[in-house]
Amino acid sequence: MRVITVVSALALLAASPALSAPDKSGDGEAAFRVLFKELVESNTQPSNGDCTVAAQRMLNHLKAAGYSDSDAHVFFTPDRPKEGGLVAVLKGTDTKSKGVLLLAHIDVVEAKREDWTRDPITLFEENGQFYARGVADDKGQAAIFTDLMVRFKTEGYKPRRTVRLALTCGEETEGMFNGAKWLTEEHKDWIDADFALNEGAFGKLDDNGKRVTLDIEAAEKVYQDFTFEATNTGGHSSRPRPDNAITDMTVALNRLAAFEFPVMLNDATRGYFRQMAKIEGGENGAAMVNIIADPNDKVADALLSKSPMWHAMLRTTCVATMIEGGHAVNALPQSVKANVNCRIFPGTPVETVRQALIAAVGDAKVSVTAFGTPSPATPAPKLGRDILGPIEAAAAEVYPGVPVVPTMETGASDGIYTTAAGIPTYGLYGFFVGEDEGNIHGLNEHVGVQSLMEGRRFTYKLVKMYLDRK
């Protein structure tokens, strides 16, 4: 595919009256608010939105701060003109380091005005919350990253390491042009970095709004469906035989239910259980310590696996989610199909999982096939002190006393593409949300005003620490 670098036409079209001039109020919160509002109020829904316009508006801020055409530009492909994004770079003095990539998506999940209490594409500030589609996922972070690039430039900051920004479209909606994937395939030079920060894990607030943990996502499970199929010649149900496709499938699914994948650990889950052991304490805490020491500890596994979340963090899981079979109430079934949804521990090939399922089913009459394009089997990135140290240091300043907890998410983000392309990607929004996770993808999405401002402070400090490090 060909890429177009837009400069003038869209700039006029999307010109915004309020650009972020450096303000006198200290850390530029007023300018950030302008930028954030502008991004949130740029409609980027799949049905009638335009990511390219949103990207252009963010580019205007970067240009006003002094980025040249070669250091910041909008990109899109001719066949998907409204699904563009933006890349920018502030070069560091250390030419040996590839630096840090700040990756955020600017598309959002569809939001219907009639379902929401307030217009979802207007930024409302009420009760200490910002309300609008995308405020938490992921325009809050996209605005924080863009604002940070603006500030670095206007402050005359000369980083030791290079910092790159990529705002992309198509993360939320299957079938849209995925900017992050496209960049890894077509223009890795625009985003190449030693590692990337991306969306992923939020800090957690309890019911009283008190900070509990600052999470960092350092691994993502891999989504994969399998089709189980049992076939039979069928016949008249008045003359049943022992062989029966529904019975075969029943046995197969019961065997699947009884089957467990072995316990696996990576840096993310090891870090998670190490930190959670301190927070949980008691029997569960001890079991967490034991499972890190010995993944084959069956007692610890059994205890922890009573929690569906911990069970899922310890292994690949596969579960039957849909079934269809038979064709008439008075006929022996000819075909039964079941969908088995797997969440694969990162780094495990899809074929390895398929073979394990075949062995668990143990019946040649039930076939097991992977559904759709198999996902990449990229191991989770390493989570060493080089990544974690600065997060803990920035958290100690902005969120004193709050433990940093690595996690492995069961969902997926664009991090799968950048990690697979050799840019280890870590997910942290850097701000805190409550139990409802800001109702992202749902109604009345929101984020605390103070939370977002603190996230902005935290991210600014964190990124500077990464960039200044020897």
The contact set with Zn ion (CB under 5 A) reads 137-138, 199
Cβ-proximal residues to 320 (8 Å cutoff; 6+ apart), any chain: 228, 253, 256, 257, 338, 339, 340, 341
Distance in Å, CB of 444 to Zn ion, minimum? 17
Which backbone phi and psi does 320 adopt, to 5 degrees?
-70, 130
Cβ nearer to Zn ion, comparing 28 with 46: 46
How many Å apart are CA 319 and CA 260, to the nearest integer?
A: 11
Cβ-proximal residues to 9 (8 Å cutoff; 6+ apart), any chain: none
> CA 319, 218, 32, 8 torsion: positive or negative?
negative
Cβ nearer to Zn ion, comparing 301 with 445: 445
Cβ nearer to Zn ion, comparing 20 with 168: 168
Distance in Å, CB of 204 to Zn ion, minimum? 17
Sheet with 366-371, side-by-side order of all strands? 317-325, 335-344, 222-231, 366-371
Q: With contact defined as beta carbons under 8 Å apart, do 332 and 234 qualify? A: yes
Cβ nearer to Zn ion, comparing 138 with 454: 138
Cβ nearer to Zn ion, comparing 107 with 147: 107
How many Å apart are CA 187 and CA 213, to the nearest integer?
A: 36
Distance in Å, CB of 157 to Zn ion, minimum? 28
Distance in Å, CB of 261 to Zn ion, minimum? 28
Distance in Å, CB of 313 to Zn ion, minimum? 21
How many Å apart are CA 450 and CA 428, to the nearest integer?
A: 17
Tokens 């949103």 sit on residue? 54
- Please state, in angstroms and as integers, the Cα–Cα distance from residue 174 to each residue in 107, 411, 427, following that order: 12, 14, 20
Give the HSE-up count for residue 384: Cα atoms under 13 Å, Cβ half-sphere.
4
Q: With contact defined as beta carbons under 8 Å apart, do 177 and 80 qualify? A: yes
Distance in Å, CB of 138 to Zn ion, minimum? 4
Cβ nearer to Zn ion, comparing 199 with 409: 199
Distance in Å, CB of 162 to Zn ion, minimum? 25
Cβ nearer to Zn ion, comparing 103 with 304: 103
Distance in Å, CB of 23 to Zn ion, minimum? 29
DSSP notation for 230-244:
EE---EETTS--S--
Cβ nearer to Zn ion, comparing 137 with 220: 137
Cβ nearer to Zn ion, comparing 220 with 301: 220
Tokens 């509990």 sit on residue? 212
Distance in Å, CB of 171 to Zn ion, minimum? 6
